[in-house]
Amino acid sequence: MGKFDGVLVLSDYDNTISFTEGALVQGLGIPPLSPENQQALLSFMDRGGTFCVATGRALPAFAPIAPTIPSNGPSILFNGAAIYDFSRREYLHTCFLPDDVRGPLEDLFERFPALGMEIYHDDFVIHAVRPNEVTRRHLGSAGLSYVEIPRPACAPSPISKVLLQGEPEVLAPVLAYLQTAPWAAGYEIMSSSTYLVEITALGANKGHMTDRLIALLGVDPAHVYCAGDHANDIPMLRLARIPFAPANAIPAVHQVPGIHILPHCTDNAIAAMIGELDKLY
């Protein structure tokens, strides 16, 4: 019997496990996992714990990173649109967008000419509509390419998620419009970065998929802990016995009830979280 038998930890990746904001802003490569975080995760799993990543990244964006992160459970991908088992290379559950999402995407395409879109599927092809500098930095930092299409209506099915992207001044009016758009209530719409807004199917968020993962693994919810830094992590954080956030998290995350603030992501926040659990068990 291990100290952490029956304990499940889920963590966001970007700016929680590794600080990738610099890569997005400057188009640099993604920094490697720190030795301190790696050792802490290996120690947690060696003592019976289950560690899973819950990321907004799509399968093609996270597949090159997954082998570098110690994990012994399935991953939540596409901001909560799928649970994927990298060891078996298969989806365990999906909640992809309906085909009629093209109507809302065409609406955004016509209203906001500077807005870029990345349209993801259930494979490794990424389609881009009006790719901009954020598109190039976002995909370039992960070493990914894209197929440009003239408008959202041309995107093939199935669509797992859509990423709206632009500089903050481009996204501000988009976010304001999404507060009142007649179709917006039919989708999950979450900011995941200063430069990125995610659109997934209704119910496809990190909280909903964390519930499914807990049931899939047969874990007692009283022993589930989550860590994240941005708005798209809040539904998951609210399910945790103790929610954790790095110091660099946005203010809304720091205001989640019961939140435990960790050091900055660049200062081994994950290792600090495992250290806190070490005291608890």
The CA-CA-CA angle for residues 177, 169, 148, to 5°, reads: 80
Q: Are 192 and 232 in contact (CB under 8 A)?
A: yes
Domain architecture of the chain: domains with CATH: 8-95+204-280 (3.40.50.1000), 99-201 (3.30.1240.10)
| 128-139 residue pLDDT tens | 999 999 998 888
pTM summary value: 0.89
Split at pLDDT 50, 70, 90, the class of 24 is: low
Q: What is the distance in angstroms between the CA of the first residue and the CA of the last residue of the chain? A: 13
Structure confidence at residue 31 (pLDDT): 86
Q: Following DSSP, what letter does each residue of 254-276 receive, concatenated?
A: HTSTT-EEPSPGGGTHHHHHHHH
**pLDDT tens per residue, range 138-160:** 888 778 899 999 999 999 999 99
3-state secondary structure 82-125: EEEECCCCEEEEECCECHHHHHHHHHHHHHCCCCEEEEECCCCC
Give the C-alpha separation, 131 to 148, whole Å. 7
Task: Check whether 262 has a pLDDT greater than 70.
Answer: yes
Confidence of residue 5 (pLDDT cuts 50, 70, 90): very high
